[in-house]
A and B are shown apart, each in its own frame.
Chain A
Amino acid sequence: MQKLVVLFVFLLGGLVLAQEKYTISGTIRDSESGEDIIGARITVKELPGTGAVTNAFGFYSLTLPEGNYTLQYRSLGFALTELKVELNQNIKKDFELAPEGKVFDAVLVKAEKEDENVTSTEMGIEKINIKDIESIPVFFGEKDVLKTIQLLPGVKSAGEGNAGFFVRGGAVDQNLVLLDNAPVYNASHLLGFFSVFNSDALKDVKLYKGTAPARFGGRLSSVMDIRMKEGNMKKFGVSGGIGLISSRLTIEGPIVKNKGSFILSGRRTYADVFLRLSNNEALKESILYFYDLNAKANYRLGDKDRIFLSGYFGRDKFGFSDQFGFDWGNATGTVRWNHIYNDKLFGNTSLIFSNYDYKIKFGTGNQTFEIGSQIQDWNFKKEFDYYLNSNNTMSFGINVIHHTFKPGEIETGDGIDFILNDIENSYALEGAAYIQNEQKIGKRFSMTYGLRYSNFAQVGPGDVFTFDPEGDVTDTTTYGNWDLIKFYHGLAPRFSAKYLLDEYSSVKAAYSRTYQFMHLLSNATASSPTDIWIPSSNNVKPQIADQWSIGYFRNFAENMFEFSIETYYKNMQNAVDYRDGAEVTLNPTVEGELLFGRARAYGAEFLVKKKKGKISGWVSYTLARSERQIDGINNGDWYAAKQDRTHDISIVTMFNLHPQFTASVAWVYYTGNAVTFPSGKYEIEGQIVNYFTERNGYRMPDYHRLDVGLTYNSKKFKTVIDAETGEEKEVPRRWESSWNLSVYNAYGRENAFSINFRENAITGETEAVQVALFKVIPAITYNFKF
């Protein structure tokens, strides 16, 4: 590891050779909404291969030798804009880009040359344009980023209609899902069929499947970085939608024009409204719904400072009369201060809160039991971006998180005269420091290298158990407040490199190590509200992954087509699986139910994408394996992880055949999950019991499904006669609306959700009974904006 540090210092040291140079820096925004543009690229016409990219807050900084330059500003979905500068001093230049296809009078040159997939050093990354997901057919008419991301190579759905996902053979809990930097611990609503992300409130979604930047850590498989919109800086706007399942409403606007803005976005389902129509009192009192509330505000304090406040609050509520209640949800909050120290140094300080909890209540009157579980984080981050020169962009920072785990709190009503013991809370401190540099060497070669130091301390108060090999408690130790129970730490290097073969193709390679100190225990295959997070402890070691990947990227026909192949190999230590028949819920000694071993995942991902034209879309194919080897399971042999899927294909096509109509078709196919089926049966206590020989030794049937969608947009412009000149001209309409019609599982494939082996009541013979959840599901949604 020391060698790596030396290498780092050496690489940097060689670069800081003095020369007369000046810096142009600023913020790039959307001319229509005033929102910062993330990932906009600034290139220098006179110096091909030189440029800068805006960070998550739209800030860029570019240092060049003195001279006259033509700068080109570009971003996906925006018109390319040029600016001539005479660089003989440091310049601050904020810039606004106009959305593509809008009527405006600025210097529109041509649409963006979309070759970022080839030229960027990043690999194993998927970006989702929120506008794009509008045209992809969706489940129950609810557009959902987590569903769309499952159509991309290397990302797999956790189950029918499920918002949970597996990345490159990793488990659901190995994805770090961040909403404005706050971790979201359970990203699904209503049994996982919908994600908690209301796409009306979202601006940018990035999924790192491979080597993530060093500023991210804490999960093995992926980082999903979701940013909320900031709100329109220029004018008030209202948008919304009415669907079968839910309705949405978003209000945004300036607090002070071009200085501050806010956005408020809400969504609620209304299945329970129908219950109110019942004339039965008990049913009237029953509830079944979920809602989301996203809020964000930002304000510029002068040129150099900006304050952001953002929050998310969402809950699912289910209750039957007053006898049973079940509700769960996430709350996150972020306070962030951006500061531009100088034209090269950008700083970001955040205080982040994140909470997930669920409550289950049984009984009536004062005869009640309430079971609750919670995980809560307080998180402090200090991050810097340092634009050393046009060839080197550094980032560094620190992060401290305090975790509180409450696995099970039990409350009883006044009418119950005994107390059920709570499951003890656990506490932990997680820390990290990182440094990273993105370096260009010549026109063809670039690399990003970084180092992240992570540590994790399980602290008191609490009882800590020691287990024997059978998982029974042999010893209990009691710790006091803030006593250190167990400390883990390690260095996580990251490296990725790109070599441009020619204008249209590149090869990339990457390596990264990641640590995960928190583990999700689940009593179901798909994500469930009653899943419990546990910290690394004296019994549970952190999971460690090393991932190597290489890729070839090629664009064809003036970047009309994108093609890529990426292969990866991931080696994981301290993988967690359950003992046979493990009890996960309300078990004070749950750690004794776990077994540890190693895991590996490898695969190849192919993607062909057509980005422009009347017909656009992509074909993605993944060939992969995901395996585990754990003493105590399958005689210690390697076995397929549940999420092991050999083949995974997605074909997504969008037809923009008419200015007002967009049609779309998506087809998915994947190999069934690895599953445990019986290989025999026997009779005991008068009951037929299945006899198993190995874990995950069988396969669910193959899954496939076709979804279709049709969107009708109202005309965006109307023709008016200019009062002065008498000429006809087109002006934008204030009210925009669209109808979206979608059919999920259009050919009614009965995909297996579960398969049970049970006796036929009449013949007495054992049958394999498949349960399929959804056949054809049509949905209609109306969206509006003014």
Chain B
Amino acid sequence: MNRGMYIWLVLTAFVVLACEKVIDIPLNDADIRIVVDAQLRDSLGDNYVRLSRTGSVYDNANFEIISGATVTISDGATTYTLAEDPSEPGFYTNLALKSEPNMTYNLTIVTDGQTLTATSTTFDEPVISELFFEKQYNFFSEFDPSEPDSVFQVFYDFSDNGGQTNFYRVRAWVNGDEDRNFYVYNDKLFNGQNNIAPIWGSSVLAGDTVDVELLSIDEARYKYLVTLVSNLQSGGQGPTPANPTSNIEGDAIGYFSAFTIDTMRIIMPE
């Protein structure tokens, strides 16, 4: 993750007395695009392709969904058809499908007379070596008596396969609520070694349960996530925001990602 930006924000918060307000900024309406949200995980039936369309910035978030598309995923040998969920239009899945390590998957979508395709590759199954925690003084308790005196910092430690160029994403849930931060890595800095890093986006208190998921992703998905982060940080400061780098071929935005995962849980002491 972009540590520089984080530190920057922390520091900024320290020094300034910023004030926020909602203002009126007129925006143009872009041409409507198809949005592909497609994931293939390594457990049976744990896959989906969600098809929708873009909308206007100031409209409500009821985006138009795309029903009746033909959606298939092929591993080179077998082609699986993903059927639309009758209870959730625009959501396509196949219960007999899961991702395997070191495979290439091809997604094909036919809708509105257009064909959209995408390819995603899996690597070796990732391994979380351990989760551990440190008890730390809670800085904010100094200013807010309702804050607990101490918080827990949870660290994850995983090893990298030195023989492959790997890309990772870490997701974390605290008592079932997902940490909204993106922890995305390439192995340029730690090829063949362990990577230890903290989960800093959520506050973890005594007795909390923390679940961590380590995803081994491909480069296209990595680029997508990195550019998604700069998109989400859009504003007058920070890097210039842009659309995430899509791996969909055809007139659409979004991504298709096949990946393998490892999970681990840790419970904080009371």
Q: Which residues of A contact B (CB under 8 A)?
A: 159, 190-191, 193, 271, 278, 280, 282-283, 288, 318, 320-321, 323, 326, 360, 364, 371, 410, 416-421, 523-526, 528, 530, 578, 580-589, 642, 673, 675-685, 688-693, 695-696, 698, 700-701, 750, 752-757, 759, 764-775
Residues of A within 8 A of B59 (CB): 766
Inter-chain contact A416/B8, CB cutoff 8 Å: no
Inter-chain contact A580/B242, CB cutoff 8 Å: yes
**Could you give, for residues 218-243 of chain B, a 1 whenever the CB lies within 8 Å of some chain A CB and a 0 otherwise?**
00000100111111101111111111
Inter-chain contact A530/B4, CB cutoff 8 Å: yes
Inter-chain contact B25/A280, CB cutoff 8 Å: no
Give the contacting residue for A682; candidates B35, B60, B189, B242; CB below 8 A. B35
The distance in angstroms between the C-alpha atoms of A271 and B137, with both chains bound, is 21
Give the contacting residue for A770; candidates B23, B29, B243; CB below 8 A. B23
Q: How far is the CB of A244 from chain B (nearest CB, A)?
A: 13
23 contacts between A and B (CB under 8 A): A191-B8, A191-B11, A278-B142, A280-B137, A318-B14, A326-B11, A360-B3, A523-B5, A580-B227, A581-B228, A582-B230, A585-B3, A586-B189, A682-B33, A682-B55, A689-B232, A691-B243, A752-B23, A755-B25, A755-B235, A755-B236, A769-B22, A772-B20
Inter-chain contact B189/A754, CB cutoff 8 Å: no
The distance in angstroms between the C-alpha atoms of A190 and B12, with both chains bound, is 9
Inter-chain contact B19/A523, CB cutoff 8 Å: no
Residues of B within 8 A of A691 (CB): 30, 33, 54, 243, 253
**Most chain B CB neighbours (cut-off 10 Å) among A283, A525, A680:** A680
The distance in angstroms between the C-alpha atoms of A764 and B59, with both chains bound, is 10
Stretch from B77-85, B93-101, B190-198, B205-213 at the A interface: B190-198
Given contacts A678-B57, A757-B234, A759-B61, contact A750 B30 (CB under 8 A): no
Decide yes or no whether B126 CB sits under 8 A from chain A.
no
The distance in angstroms between the C-alpha atoms of A318 and B227, with both chains bound, is 29
Inter-chain contact B55/A681, CB cutoff 8 Å: yes
Inter-chain contact A679/B188, CB cutoff 8 Å: no
**Most chain A CB neighbours (cut-off 10 Å) among B27, B60, B136:** B27
Inter-chain contact B234/A683, CB cutoff 8 Å: no
Inter-chain contact B37/A754, CB cutoff 8 Å: no
Given contacts A679-B27, A689-B232, contact A421 B237 (CB under 8 A): no
Q: How far is the CB of A637 from chain B (nearest CB, A)?
A: 16
Known contacts A523-B4, A526-B237, A580-B242, then 18 further A-B pairs from the complex at CB < 8 Å, ordered by chain A residue: A282-B137, A320-B139, A321-B139, A525-B238, A530-B7, A581-B230, A582-B239, A677-B27, A678-B234, A680-B29, A684-B37, A691-B243, A755-B235, A757-B234, A764-B60, A768-B24, A771-B235, A773-B16
Inter-chain contact B227/A689, CB cutoff 8 Å: no
Inter-chain contact A750/B61, CB cutoff 8 Å: no
Residues of B within 8 A of A530 (CB): 4, 7-8
Inter-chain contact B23/A679, CB cutoff 8 Å: no
Q: How far is the CB of B12 from chain A (nearest CB, A)?
A: 6
Residues of B within 8 A of A759 (CB): 61
Q: How far is the CB of A366 from chain B (nearest CB, A)?
A: 13
Q: How far is the CB of A671 from chain B (nearest CB, A)?
A: 14
Q: For window 41-65 of chain B, which residues contact chain A by CB distance below 8 Å?
A: 50, 52-61, 63
Residues of B within 8 A of A679 (CB): 27-30, 57
Residues of B within 8 A of A771 (CB): 18-20, 235
Which chain A residue lies CB-closest to B228?
Answer: A689
**Most chain A CB neighbours (cut-off 10 Å) among B226, B231, B239:** B239
Q: Which residues of B contact A (CB under 8 A)?
A: 2-5, 7-8, 11-12, 14-25, 27-30, 32-33, 35, 37, 50, 52-61, 63, 134, 136-137, 139, 142, 188-191, 193-196, 223, 226-232, 234-245, 253-255
The distance in angstroms between the C-alpha atoms of A360 and B19, with both chains bound, is 28
Give the contacting residue for B54; candidates A191, A677, A681; CB below 8 A. A681
Inter-chain contact B190/A418, CB cutoff 8 Å: yes
Give the contacting residue for B237; candidates A320, A371, A753, A774; CB below 8 A. A753
Inter-chain contact A692/B231, CB cutoff 8 Å: yes
Going nearest first, the 5 A-B pairs with the smallest beta carbon separation are A581-B227, A580-B242, A754-B235, A679-B30, A754-B236
The distance in angstroms between the C-alpha atoms of A278 and B139, with both chains bound, is 12
Given contacts A523-B238, A753-B237, A764-B60, contact A678 B27 (CB under 8 A): yes
Residues of B within 8 A of A677 (CB): 25, 27, 234
Given contacts A523-B5, A583-B226, contact A766 B57 (CB under 8 A): yes
Residues of B within 8 A of A278 (CB): 142
Given contacts A764-B61, A765-B58, A773-B18, contact A524 B238 (CB under 8 A): yes
Inter-chain contact B245/A580, CB cutoff 8 Å: yes
Residues of A within 8 A of B14 (CB): 288, 318
Inter-chain contact B5/A682, CB cutoff 8 Å: no
Residues of A within 8 A of B8 (CB): 191, 523-524, 528, 530
Given contacts A578-B240, A682-B54, contact A769 B231 (CB under 8 A): no
The distance in angstroms between the C-alpha atoms of A654 and B6, with both chains bound, is 41
Q: How far is the CB of A407 from chain B (nearest CB, A)?
A: 12
**Most chain A CB neighbours (cut-off 10 Å) among B4, B27, B142, B234:** B4
Inter-chain contact A581/B242, CB cutoff 8 Å: yes
The distance in angstroms between the C-alpha atoms of A735 and B266, with both chains bound, is 68
The distance in angstroms between the C-alpha atoms of A556 and B24, with both chains bound, is 46
Residues of A within 8 A of B3 (CB): 360, 371, 585-586
Given contacts A678-B234, A679-B29, A757-B57, contact A418 B194 (CB under 8 A): yes
Residues of A within 8 A of B139 (CB): 282-283, 320-321
Which chain A residue lies CB-closest to B35?
Answer: A682
The distance in angstroms between the C-alpha atoms of A770 and B56, with both chains bound, is 19
Residues of A within 8 A of B16 (CB): 773-774
Inter-chain contact B188/A421, CB cutoff 8 Å: yes
The distance in angstroms between the C-alpha atoms of A775 and B244, with both chains bound, is 35
Residues of A within 8 A of B52 (CB): 682-683
The distance in angstroms between the C-alpha atoms of A685 and B50, with both chains bound, is 9
Residues of A within 8 A of B236 (CB): 525, 673, 675, 700, 752-755
Given contacts A684-B254, A759-B61, contact A528 B244 (CB under 8 A): no
Give the contacting residue for A766; candidates B11, B12, B58, B191; CB below 8 A. B58
Q: How far is the CB of B137 from chain A (nearest CB, A)?
A: 4
Q: How far is the CB of B193 from chain A (nearest CB, A)?
A: 4
Inter-chain contact B234/A682, CB cutoff 8 Å: no
Q: How far is the CB of B60 from chain A (nearest CB, A)?
A: 6
Inter-chain contact B237/A524, CB cutoff 8 Å: yes
**Most chain B CB neighbours (cut-off 10 Å) among A193, A416, A754:** A754
The distance in angstroms between the C-alpha atoms of A698 and B26, with both chains bound, is 10
Inter-chain contact A528/B241, CB cutoff 8 Å: no
The distance in angstroms between the C-alpha atoms of A526 and B11, with both chains bound, is 14
Give the contacting residue for A689; candidates B50, B136, B137, B244; CB below 8 A. B244
The distance in angstroms between the C-alpha atoms of A208 and B8, with both chains bound, is 31
Residues of A within 8 A of B50 (CB): 684
Give the contacting residue for A690; candidates B19, B20, B137, B234; CB below 8 A. B234
Residues of A within 8 A of B136 (CB): 323
Inter-chain contact B243/A692, CB cutoff 8 Å: yes
Residues of A within 8 A of B190 (CB): 418, 420-421
The distance in angstroms between the C-alpha atoms of A65 and B80, with both chains bound, is 100
Q: How far is the CB of B156 from chain A (nearest CB, A)?
A: 14
Residues of B within 8 A of A191 (CB): 8, 11-12, 15
Inter-chain contact B4/A581, CB cutoff 8 Å: no
Residues of A within 8 A of B254 (CB): 684
Which chain B residue lies CB-closest to A161?
Answer: B16
Residues of B within 8 A of A526 (CB): 237
Q: How far is the CB of A172 from chain B (nearest CB, A)?
A: 14
Q: How far is the CB of B172 from chain A (nearest CB, A)?
A: 15
Q: How far is the CB of B131 from chain A (nearest CB, A)?
A: 15
Inter-chain contact A523/B239, CB cutoff 8 Å: yes
**Most chain A CB neighbours (cut-off 10 Å) among B134, B139, B226:** B139
The distance in angstroms between the C-alpha atoms of A46 and B190, with both chains bound, is 77
The distance in angstroms between the C-alpha atoms of A190 and B11, with both chains bound, is 9
